[in-house]
Structure 1
Amino acid sequence: MEESKLAVIEQSPRKASREFRRQQFIDATIATLARVGFSRATLTEVAATAGLSHGLIIFHFQTKEKLLTETLQYMAREYRDNWVQALEAAPKTPAAQMEALIRADIDDTISAPERMAAWSALWAEAQSRPIYQENCAAFDLEYLHTIEKLCAELTEEGGYPSLPVHAARAIRVTLNGMWFDLMTMTGPYTREESLQTMFNMLMAFYPRHFDHTGALEHGRRAASQPM
């Protein structure tokens, strides 16, 4: 066997084990942030949550800042992958794409109480640290530009009077508000009601493309109905 192939075989189990351990600590960090908040989320607390040693978490992450940065990066990628995959699976009409984007934002996994509580802890800390801007600004802009693009397409397709940039801003702000409402462990209303609220707001901008349940036949009716 060639020496290079032998090296790959020998290194793969160690690499897999390292990635598995790091993921264990990231998952434990999310749970710890949700339970005790940012300031009390120490390396010792995270290690205890993971059921692993303090020395092992030091070996993998060295500092709390590095651990939180990687956790934030993981959650940001997870959030982006969720809505990107939703758009890829949806019909390629602006109304269907917008519906998919909204549903992805209130997906049971992404908006699970533990995930949302962890996001809340990190967002609050981001006000005084550059950690969020440095690691998530590009994802945020990509998401906003996607909403703006869909709003522009809906406006053109339906001949609506609203300005796409302003409509996109209203949608994003409403989604953020919905997230903060859902961050309580009990929740003031269900996710289904959250979706209905979002679709009712979209009806105000694009009445021939949406009703309170989502896109109207993926927006196909818009071309045949007059203003």
Structure 2
Amino acid sequence: MNRERILGATLWVIARQGLSGTTMERVAGRAGISPGSVTFHFARKDALLLAALDHVVAMFEGARRRVLMEAGDDPARALERLIDISLDPRISAPDAIAVWTAFWGEAKARRLYLERVGEADAVFQADLLTLCRRMLAGTGARNEGRAAEALARGLGGLIDGLWQDALVAGRSFDRAAARDLAISYLATVFPNEPRWHVAPGHDEEQSREGAAS
């Protein structure tokens, strides 16, 4: 239990102090435990920082594997669920995103970021590419391979941008609106997938119902 509390406190401190400003004492204070309890679990600051990074990566990786398994042979469902986990507040909370960006942003820590996160980033992008290829298969799209790569990179870039928005906006970040934006992207690039399209007149009907109430 203390280890989880320490990791949660570490995310909080990194988000506010950066890697260089994160100390065992600050983490202990945030966790409400003694500095000795922190050093019992993590002998050095470097070990604590890397454990925090590994923690956020493991949360994302676990969710990614789970939703792909649940989606089975449905690529549209898989894409939708990958968007959902990317915007899940447990995974893309501002404090968690701050850890990713802190390691990437500090030159001395970037090698560690690439060692620990590079593979996860590559796997996620490969998932998007595979799913986009499956969505385009048999549609007659011109140069399906290149088209799938462009669409996958576009979706990955959109998700990255939404993460930056979440980091800047903090608690005011509108996750429902962000999800709608990502789904609208899918609806635009895959117009033949009915589940991503609102029926004509649906928005107007909802507006009338809202006004009447």
* TM > 0.5: yes
- Which residue of structure 2 aligns with residue 221 of structure 1? none
Task: State the shift of 1:88 in Å.
Answer: 2.1
Alignment RMSD (CA, Å): 2.1
Structure 2 Cα separation of the partners of residues 198 and 144 of structure 1: 16
Structure 1 portions without partners, runs of 5+? 1-19, 214-227
Structure 2 Cα separation of the partners of residues 212 and 112 of structure 1: 28
Query: Are 2:77 and 1:96 aligned?
Result: yes
Give the secondary-structure state (helix, strand or coil) at the position aligned to 1:164: helix
- Which residue of structure 2 aligns with residue 201 of structure 1? 185
- Which residue of structure 1 aligns with residue 175 of structure 2? 191
Structure 1 Cα separation of the partners of residues 197 and 17 of structure 2: 37
- Which residue of structure 2 aligns with residue 165 of structure 1? 149
Q: Closer, same or farther in 2 for the Cα pair 1:202/1:129, shift >3 Å?
A: same
Give the 5 Å matches for 1:26-175.
26-90=7-71, 92-125=73-106, 128-161=109-142, 163-175=147-159
Task: State the shift of 1:119 in Å.
Answer: 3.1
Q: TM-score, normalised by structure 2?
A: 0.81
Structure 1 Cα separation of the partners of residues 124 and 19 of structure 2: 26
- Which residue of structure 2 aligns with residue 4 of structure 1? none
Structure 2 Cα separation of the partners of residues 47 and 198 of structure 1: 38
Task: State the shift of 1:194 in Å.
Answer: 0.7
Q: Closer, same or farther in 2 for the Cα pair 1:46/1:212, shift >3 Å?
A: farther
The answer to which structure has the higher helix fraction is: 2
Structure 2 portions without partners, runs of 5+? 199-213
Q: Closer, same or farther in 2 for the Cα pair 1:195/1:36, shift >3 Å?
A: same
Cα deviation, 1:77-105, whole Å, max 9, x if unaligned, reads 10111122122223531111111111111
Structure with higher Rg: it is 1
Contact 1:33-1:121 within 8 A present in 2 as well: yes
- Which residue of structure 1 aligns with residue 201 of structure 2? none
- Which residue of structure 2 aligns with residue 14 of structure 1? none
Structure 2 Cα separation of the partners of residues 119 and 136 of structure 1: 9
Task: State the shift of 1:55 in Å.
Answer: 2.4
Contact 2:84-2:179 within 8 A present in 1 as well: yes
Cα deviation, 1:182-225, whole Å, max 9, x if unaligned, reads 112244x5111111111221223211125356xxxxxxxxxxxx
Q: Closer, same or farther in 2 for the Cα pair 1:200/1:127, shift >3 Å?
A: farther
Cα deviation, 1:119-173, whole Å, max 9, x if unaligned, reads 3333323675311111122211111111110011011043333511121111101
Cα deviation, 1:10-32, whole Å, max 9, x if unaligned, reads xxxxxxxxxx3322221210121
Contact 2:75-2:134 within 8 A present in 1 as well: yes
Q: TM-score, normalised by structure 1?
A: 0.76
Q: Which moved more, 1:91-100 or 1:123-132?
A: 123-132
Q: Closer, same or farther in 2 for the Cα pair 1:127/1:101, shift >3 Å?
A: farther
Percent identity, aligned pairs only? Answer: 28
Task: State the shift of 1:117 in Å.
Answer: 3.1
